[in-house]
Amino acid sequence: MSGKNFGFVIKAGRQIDIDVTDSTLADDIALEVGAWRACISCGSCVATCPAGISFRSELPTLNRAFQHNVELPTLKSCFLCGKCQLVCPRGIPTRYLSILIMQKLQSRKNVAEGIPSV
Amino acid sequence: MLTEKKHTEPNQFRIAVIGSGPAGISAAISAAAIGMEVDWYDKESRPGGKLNDYHQLFPDREFADLVLDDFTGKADSIRIKKHFGTTITRIESANGQNVLYSNTEVVGRCDSVIVATGFDFFDARIKEEFGYGIYDHVITSPDLEKILKTGHDQLKKGGIAPESMAFVHCVGSRDQQIGINYCSRLCCITGIKQAIEIRELFPSCKVYNFYIDIRAFGSGYEELYRQAQEKYNIHFIRGRVSEASENQQNRIVVKAEDTLMARPLKVTVDWLVLLVGMVPSCTQVSVNQAQCSDPETGFYQLQNPFAGSGLEKPGIFSAGACGGPMSIPEAAASGRSAAIEAWQYLTSR
């Protein structure tokens, strides 16, 4: 896009464009843990996390803002203490989800790079 | 006072019920059950009010027709005289006698009146940015309810099921820009219910609900909300839609902020459904020329909110959503309580 200057621009990287979102990973995860969708974004998990991870924002990220090449680096520092699971008012198995999401991401990465799965 | 018991026969009292929605029907049934003579008015030629246009009711998804049949069946009493197709515009109340007018014509006299004139849906054209009345594929929740009732094939385009649909919560509610500060309470659960119906009818259709707060307050509502998230995979996005526009494929492009992600968001949908709020009915009656409405909301102002239903003049009671946004069970309960209050008033005056 060039030519007209309207005095403002919307940065392409910031806007969530649901039309191009890849929701297959989210659907994949929901097949195993349906309760995951019941998140109400209360933030209990974030407030209690000793590793400073925003687990709360992983749901909307995967559901709406995920694209093939996007990684979720924050989850990498999770050491699976399970405190988030203890405080979740919706009873979501967050600890298991943390492992699951990382596994799924890794296997996608492996497929993309041609590494055979173990 | 309980000490001086009067000997009164219920059938010496004549009571008018204006309106035949859930509140009016319940009021008429209850007043007749007490034994009073009931004159029942409605501006339409058949009873039921807006219930006639609904498909399924939240949270249990009963068919509105069956609920209405159940109501009207109970209203078949020799004590209830039906005067449908009569619009009551004002009541003149003096010395315990009330005269009902339809414009200038006197249509009835009675000892007590229960006003159950209900509500209107917010006119979504006022919120121009959502494009209702401008784009063909922007509809309101009552429009969708009628479509679901009369045949959901209308939602298909060229025989193809919609790919995506979005619901906008709080259209005509909690909005100082249009002078409506109150919450209409029931649009949230309507949106949840309709979104579930869409997912059942078109399993491949993605559904997005844009909300400010989800207020699922009633019995069974929260459970339905959770089902909508977990079982039906409806995407609830916290953020108010800023504008809707039509693209060249006649699809609606919706812009909002995903406030939980703190990022602007865009999605293209086949249908945009506006969950319109409840506003005071344009057929509200006046009592002795006064409007009796709350200056803030425009709904009837209750003299004693704890008692529930008394209006400005003694002997005149309100029931149902003409006193503020109300669900069907609440309106029915309010109709029953107004009948009891009218009976108490008549026997103690």
- Domain extent listing, chain B: 10-118+281-348, 122-278
The CATH H-level superfamily of B122-278 is FAD/NAD(P)-binding domain (3.50.50.60)
Domain count across chain A? 1
Q: CB distance A17–B229 less than 8 Å?
A: no
Q: CB distance A19–B266 less than 8 Å?
A: yes
Q: How far is B144 from chain A (nearest CA, A)?
A: 24
Q: Are strands B119-121 and B278-280 parallel, antiparallel or unpaired?
A: antiparallel
Question: B305 pLDDT exceeds 80?
Answer: no
| Chain A interface test: which of B243, B247, B266 (most A C-beta within 10 Å) | B266
Give A14's contacts in chain B (Cβ within 8 Å).
Answer: 263-264
- Cα separation, B35 vs B56, in Å, equals 33
Question: B313 pLDDT exceeds 90?
Answer: no
First to last CA, chain B: 10
- Cα separation, B18 vs B24, in Å, equals 7
Of A10, A40, A60, the CB nearest to B258: A60
Which of 215-244 (B) contact A at CB < 8 A? 226, 229-231, 233, 235, 237-238
DSSP state of A55: G
Average pLDDT over residues A91-103: 93
B212 to chain A, any CB pair closer than 8 A? The answer is no
Question: How high is the pLDDT of residue B2?
Answer: 53
Q: Assign B188 a pLDDT band (cuts: 50, 70, 90).
A: very high
**Contacts by A104-110, CB closer than 8 A, 24 or more apart:** A104/A25, A104/A28, A104/A29, A105/A25, A105/A71, A105/A72, A108/A25, A108/A68
Q: Assign B159 a pLDDT band (cuts: 50, 70, 90).
A: very high
- Residue B99's nearest CA partner among B298, B289, B348, B319 is B289
Instruction: Report the mean per-residue pLDDT for chain A.
Output: 85
Strand partners, B265: A16, B256
Question: pLDDT of B163-176, one tens digit each?
Answer: 999 999 999 999 99
**Coil, strand or helix at A15:** coil
Q: Is residue A8 in a domain?
A: no
Question: How high is the pLDDT of residue A33?
Answer: 92
Question: How high is the pLDDT of residue B62?
Answer: 95
Question: B268 pLDDT exceeds 80?
Answer: yes
Q: Assign A4 a pLDDT band (cuts: 50, 70, 90).
A: confident
Question: B157 pLDDT exceeds 60?
Answer: yes
Could you tell me if B85 and B45 are in contact, meaning their C-beta atoms sit under 8 angstroms apart?
yes
Average pLDDT over residues A80-95: 95
**Contacts by A21-24, CB closer than 8 A, 24 or more apart:** A21/A63, A21/A64, A21/A65, A21/A66, A21/A67, A22/A66, A22/A67, A22/A68, A23/A62, A23/A63, A23/A64, A23/A66
Which of 263-322 (B) contact A at CB < 8 A? 263-268
Q: Assign A65 a pLDDT band (cuts: 50, 70, 90).
A: confident
Question: How high is the pLDDT of residue B284?
Answer: 82
Question: How high is the pLDDT of residue B311?
Answer: 72
- Cα separation, B108 vs B110, in Å, equals 7
Question: pLDDT of B20-54, one tens digit each?
Answer: 999 999 999 999 999 999 999 999 999 999 999 99
Q: How far is A89 from chain B (nearest CA, A)?
A: 12
**Token pair listed for B113:** 């009146």
Of B238, B258, B268, the CB nearest to A16: B258
Question: B109 pLDDT exceeds 60?
Answer: yes
Q: Assign B205 a pLDDT band (cuts: 50, 70, 90).
A: very high
- Cα separation, A56 vs A72, in Å, equals 12
Q: Is residue A118 in a domain?
A: no
Question: How high is the pLDDT of residue B176?
Answer: 94
Of B231, B233, B265, the CB nearest to A18: B265
Average pLDDT over residues A27-49: 92
Question: How high is the pLDDT of residue B151?
Answer: 92
| Chain A interface test: which of B258, B269, B270, B272 (most A C-beta within 10 Å) | B258
ipTM of the complex: 0.84
Question: How high is the pLDDT of residue A70?
Answer: 61
Of B235, B260, B266, the CB nearest to A41: B260
Q: CB distance B264–A15 less than 8 Å?
A: yes
Lowest model confidence (mean pLDDT) among A99-103, B185-189, B193-197: A99-103
- Cα separation, B64 vs B51, in Å, equals 6
Q: How far is B253 from chain A (nearest CA, A)?
A: 10
Q: CB distance B266–A17 less than 8 Å?
A: yes
Collect all residues with Cβ–Cβ distance below 8 Å to B62 and sequence separation of at least 6.
B56
Instruction: Report the mean per-residue pLDDT for chain B.
Output: 93
Strand partners, A17: B266
Question: How high is the pLDDT of residue A74?
Answer: 75
Peptide bond between residue B59 and the one before it cis (omega within 30 degrees of 0): yes
- Residue B9: CB atoms within 10 A of its CB come to 8
Could you tell me if B75 and B29 are in contact, meaning their C-beta atoms sit under 8 angstroms apart?
yes
Average pLDDT over residues B63-86: 95
- Cα separation, B152 vs A12, in Å, equals 37
Q: How many CB pairs under 8 A join A and B?
A: 57
- Cα separation, A104 vs B303, in Å, equals 62
Question: B302 pLDDT exceeds 60?
Answer: yes
Apex A24 CA angle, A21 and A104, nearest 5: 115
Q: What is the dihedral of CA A52, A53, A57, A61, to 10 degrees?
A: 140
Question: How high is the pLDDT of residue B349?
Answer: 80
Q: Is residue A4 in a domain?
A: no
Q: Assign A72 a pLDDT band (cuts: 50, 70, 90).
A: low
Question: B208 pLDDT exceeds 90?
Answer: yes
Question: How high is the pLDDT of residue A68?
Answer: 65
Q: CB distance B208–A18 less than 8 Å?
A: yes
Could you say which of 2.60.40.1120, 3.50.50.60, 3.40.50.10420, 3.40.50.1110 is the CATH number of the domain covering B10-118+281-348?
3.50.50.60
Which amino acid belongs to residue A28?
Answer: D
pLDDT > 90: what percent of chain B? 83
Q: Assign A11 a pLDDT band (cuts: 50, 70, 90).
A: low
pLDDT > 70: what percent of chain B? 95
Question: How high is the pLDDT of residue A60?
Answer: 86
**Token pair listed for B265:** 């968001």
Question: B8 pLDDT exceeds 90?
Answer: no
Domain holding A70, by residue range, is: 18-110
Question: pLDDT of B233-245, one tens digit each?
Answer: 999 999 999 999 9
Q: Are both B10-118+281-348 and B122-278 of the same fold?
A: yes
Question: B291 pLDDT exceeds 90?
Answer: no
